[in-house]
């Protein structure tokens, strides 16, 4: 029987690439994001391959999250794979110059939003005693870099939540693991720098960054391991990157 994956942040970058690869491999999809036209476009592209349903919600809004998930049609109501991917950095400032709205956005989206979606979906996995959760962390969740303060804190929280979920869901046979990418060229830096394209492009100049398909490939590898194999925590960087602050640029 085909599995169903629920992917947050499927309108762009890593989430979108994962949706495309999952569809190619026969995994039915619930794709989520706020940009409905992008969700519709992706649905049009992929519905020849799999059953696909779109959900539009702002992950910060727990009422919206619950309403969307409670309203899933019967054929999409059993979620086998949850990809907790939606997230972004907002700003890159030293802590004393940080913008409170940026801080709220990062903690509300990357941490609380991930928890809202998880809380809405995990009980059915517990009841069935099956499921697989992939949390998209970051190298920023493993080490802190200059001006990364609150984004790094949000991803360190994802690291802790990933460990906590794995411990609490262990009695139910639910697999939980994190994938922690380094520099991936997506819309991430456009969002971080609020549409400043030059600044965003500069992040990926002078070396070959990862692309979202590289991460999708790894996510697909993780979810296709035999049931007794759980990839618990994985860090992946471009070859040119050695740490958050060391990148070999030409
Ligand atoms: P993108 O900006 O390309 O994609 C972010 C996705 O998150 C979009 O689909 C966006 O959808 C969704 N999203 C953002 N805010 C909200 C919100 N409030 N409510 C609902 N959905 C939201 O970035 P990436 O693909 O790079 O990022 C995906 C994940 O990977 C993030 O968790 C990020 O932290 C992580 N990551 C990224 C790295 C990188 O270098 N790019 C490296 C390490 C980790 P929409 O705007 O339509 O709502
Ligand atoms: C994204 C990677 O180094 O830009 O999480 O923070 S980084």
Pocket test of ligand 1: the residue of 186, 193, 236 to mutate, having most ligand atoms within 8 Å of its CB, is 186
The predicted pLDDT at position 222 comes to: 98
The predicted pLDDT at position 141 comes to: 98
Residue span of the structural domain in which 129 resides: 4-236
The predicted pLDDT at position 108 comes to: 98
The predicted pLDDT at position 1 comes to: 85
Is 242 a domain residue?
no
**Does the pTM exceed 0.95?**
yes
Is 250 a domain residue?
no
Q: Which residues contact 232 (CB under 8 A, 6 or more apart)?
A: 166, 176, 177, 178
What is the Å distance from ligand 1's center to 248 Cα? Answer: 25
Supply the ipTM of this predicted assembly: 0.99
Is 110 a domain residue?
yes
151 is catalytic: yes
Q: Does ligand 1 lie within 6 Å of residue 84's CB atom?
A: no
Atom 6, ligand 2: which residue's CA is nearest?
Answer: 140
Sheet containing strand 233-236, strands side by side: 52-56, 28-33, 4-7, 81-84, 132-136, 175-181, 233-236
Is 246 a domain residue?
no
Is 244 a domain residue?
no
Q: Does ligand 1 lie within 6 Å of residue 187's CB atom?
A: yes
Task: Give the active site residue among 116, 145, 151, 204.
Answer: 151
Q: Does ligand 1 lie within 6 Å of residue 104's CB atom?
A: no
User: Residues of the chain whose pLDDT is less than 70?
Assistant: none
Q: What is the domain count for the chain? A: 1
**Which tens digit of pLDDT belongs to each residue from 158-171?**
999 999 999 999 99
Nearest ligand 2 atom, CA 188: 1
- Residue 97 CB neighbour total at 10 angstroms: 8
At 140, list the tokens. 């920023």
Q: Does ligand 1 lie within 6 Å of residue 131's CB atom?
A: no
Is 241 a domain residue?
no
User: Where does ligand 2 bind, in terms of residues with CB under 6 Å?
Assistant: 138-140, 148, 182-183, 244
Is 156 a domain residue?
yes
The ligand with the least distance to the CA atom of 234 is: 1
The predicted pLDDT at position 85 comes to: 99
**Which tens digit of pLDDT belongs to each residue from 193-249?**
999 999 999 999 999 999 999 999 999 999 999 999 999 999 999 999 999 999 999
CB 141 within 8 A of CB 156: yes
CATH number (domain holding residue 221): 3.40.50.720
CB 26 within 8 A of CB 225: no
Atom 46, ligand 1: which residue's CA is nearest?
Answer: 34
Helix intervals (H) in the chain? 13-24, 36-46, 62-70, 100-106, 114-128, 149-169, 188-192, 197-203, 212-223
Is 66 a domain residue?
yes
Could you write out the DSSP letters of every residue in 63-123?
Answer: HHHHHHHHT--GGG---SEEEE----------GGG--HHHHHHHIIIIIIIHHHHHHHHHH
What is the Å distance from ligand 1's center to 110 Cα? Answer: 9
């Amino acid at each position: 029987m085909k599995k169903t994956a629920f992917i947050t942040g499927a309108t762009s970058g890593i989430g979108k690439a994962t949706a495309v690869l999952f569809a190619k491999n026969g995994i039915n999809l619930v794709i989520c994001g706020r940009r409905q036209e992008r969700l519709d476009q992706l649905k049009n592209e992929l519905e020849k391959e799999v059953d696909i349903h779109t959900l539009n919600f702002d992950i910060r809004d727990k009422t919206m999250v619950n309403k969307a998930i409670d309203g899933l049609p019967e054929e999409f109501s059993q979620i086998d794979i949850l990809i907790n991917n939606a997230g972004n950095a907002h700003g890159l400032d030293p802590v004393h110059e940080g913008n409170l709205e940026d801080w709220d956005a990062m903690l509300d989206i990357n941490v609380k939003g991930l928890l809202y979606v998880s809380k809405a979906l995990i009980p059915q996995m517990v009841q069935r005693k099956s499921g697989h959760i992939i949390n998209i962390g970051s190298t920023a969740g493993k080490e802190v870099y200059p001006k990364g303060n609150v984004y790094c804190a949000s991803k360190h929280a994802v690291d802790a939540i990933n460990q906590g979920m794995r411990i609490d869901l262990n009695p139910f046979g639910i697999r939980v693991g994190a994938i922690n990418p380094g520099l991936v060229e997506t819309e991430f830096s456009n969002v971080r720098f609020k549409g400043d394209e030059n600044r965003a492009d500069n992040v990926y100049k002078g070396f070959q960054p990862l692309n979202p398909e590289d991460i999708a490939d790894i996510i697909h590898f993780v979810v296709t391991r035999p049931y007794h194999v759980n990839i618990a925590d994985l860090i992946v960087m471009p070859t040119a990157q050695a740490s958050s602050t060391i990148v070999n640029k030409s």
